[in-house]
Amino acid sequence: MSENWKVIINPKAGNCKGVEEWPAIKEQLMRIGLNISFSFTEHMYHAIELTESAIRNGYRKFIAVGGDGTLHEVVNGLFRQNEVPTTDFTIASIPIGTGNDWGRLYNFPRDYSAAAEIIAAGKTKMQDIAKVDVLKDGKPATRYMVNIGGMAFDAYTCYLFSKMKEKRMSGRSLYVKGLLQGFTKYKSRFFKIKIDGEPFFEGKVFSTAFGIGKYSGGGMIQTPEAIPDDGILEVTVIKKIPKAKVLLNLTKLFKGTIFSIPEVIHTKAKTVDIESTPSSYVEVDGEDVGESALHIEMIPVALNVIVP
């Protein structure tokens, strides 16, 4: 059973591409000779449950078919259990979501045939994971991060996304609407940030990001120096900044030159602690996961990932 692959598909990913494109994806996986079992998610966090169940049934290799949120849930299923070392698992992704920022990190193709060939080749690398502790409904909660997270503006925007998803809204227009609402309504908050236990910054913050990977929000580069297997988190803080200046520097966010903006500071970290007044939403891998206070701790080279 350990050589079988468990495929977990989000049918709503990419504006329902998951359910529409699965026959073509399945055909490619069968063509390369994979022995697969597959399941469709039916609700939020279902991919976590499906992953945990598959582990109990002996599966050690997983393919996430969906967006960054689907991959995030599968990874959390792998890390919430304690029976099997996470280094025993291998995970691959067939990105069909709206953002696909983790796939962008490794230049994973959107073509199903090419993606299947990469999985068949079986090249892997060990990637870092981060353990993220937050408050959810006033109670301590833990999530595991495979790519990038944030607080302040981008987390507030993700919170708005989640509310829209609850109303069954989908598609790229969701992101545009959420960004516009977030940009209009968000007000900078006072942050106290510690890096590896030492004070790093205190003051008003427009946004902050902490990355294992570089990309978020469909191609934005908030942590351009992040390396996914160095055991270090890249932390970027955008201090309070006029919103007009944010718009004027928007191209730098997509070109990876965000550090040239005077209001931006950055550092490297193994642990991060952030307190916010008032409290701030926290997003991990594009998912709204709770509120501050925040504690992040790196788990170096903790998971095998299939790469081109």
% of the chain with per-residue pLDDT over 70: 93
pLDDT at 157: 86
pLDDT at 175: 59
Per DSSP, 97 falls in state: S
Residue pLDDT, tens place only, 219-231: 899 999 999 999 9
Is 70 exceeded by the pLDDT of residue 169?
no
| Distance separating alpha carbons of residues 214 and 217, to the nearest angstrom | 11
Is 70 exceeded by the pLDDT of residue 155?
yes
Our CA angle for 71, 56, 30, nearest 5°, is 60
Amino acid letter, residue 57: N
Distances (CA, A) of 250 to 111, 215, 254, 282: 29, 15, 7, 22
Q: Kindly report, as residue ranges, where domains of CATH 2.60.200.40 are found in the chain.
A: 129-300
Range name among 3-7, 274-278, 279-283 with the lowest pLDDT average: 3-7
Domain 129-300 adopts which CATH fold?
Tumour Suppressor Smad4 (2.60.200)
| 79-113: b (≥16 Cβ within 10 Å) or e | beeeeeebeebbbbbbbbbbbbbbbbbbebeeebe
Residue pLDDT, tens place only, 230-242: 999 999 999 999 9
Residue 18 pLDDT class (50, 70, 90 cuts) = confident
Say which residue, 96 or 47, is predicted with more confidence: 47
% of the chain with per-residue pLDDT over 90: 78
CB atoms near residue 162 (< 10 Å): 18
pLDDT at 99: 78
Is 90 exceeded by the pLDDT of residue 283?
yes
pLDDT at 171: 52
pLDDT at 46: 97
Return mean pLDDT, the chain: 91
Question: Closest Cα to residue 209, out of 152, 167, 169, 247?
Answer: 152
Provide the total of helices (H) and of strands (E) in the chain, helices listed first: 9, 16
Is 50 exceeded by the pLDDT of residue 2?
no
Average pLDDT over residues 115-129: 95
Residue pLDDT, tens place only, 246-275: 889 989 999 999 999 999 999 999 999 999
Q: Specify the pTM.
A: 0.92
Asked if residue 237 lies in contact with residue 201, where contact means CB atoms within 8 angstroms, the answer is yes
Residue 247, classed as helix, strand or coil, is helix
Asked if residue 18 lies in contact with residue 40, where contact means CB atoms within 8 angstroms, the answer is yes
Is 60 exceeded by the pLDDT of residue 55?
yes
pLDDT at 16: 78
Q: What DSSP line would sit under 21-89, residue for residue?
A: HHHHHHHHHHHTT--EEEEE--STTHHHHHHHHHHHTT--EEEEEESHHHHHHHHHHHHH--SS-GGG-
Residue 1 pLDDT class (50, 70, 90 cuts) = very low
Query: Which among 1-15, 21-35, 160-174 has the top mean pLDDT?
Result: 21-35
Distances (CA, A) of 103 to 66, 260, 283: 11, 26, 18
Q: Kindly report, as residue ranges, where domains of CATH 3.40.50.10330 are found in the chain.
A: 5-122
Residue pLDDT, tens place only, 64-117: 999 899 999 999 999 999 999 999 999 999 998 777 899 999 988 889 999 999
pLDDT at 54: 97
Average pLDDT over residues 141-157: 94
Q: Domain 5-122 has what CATH class?
A: alpha beta
Our CA angle for 244, 253, 159, nearest 5°, is 80
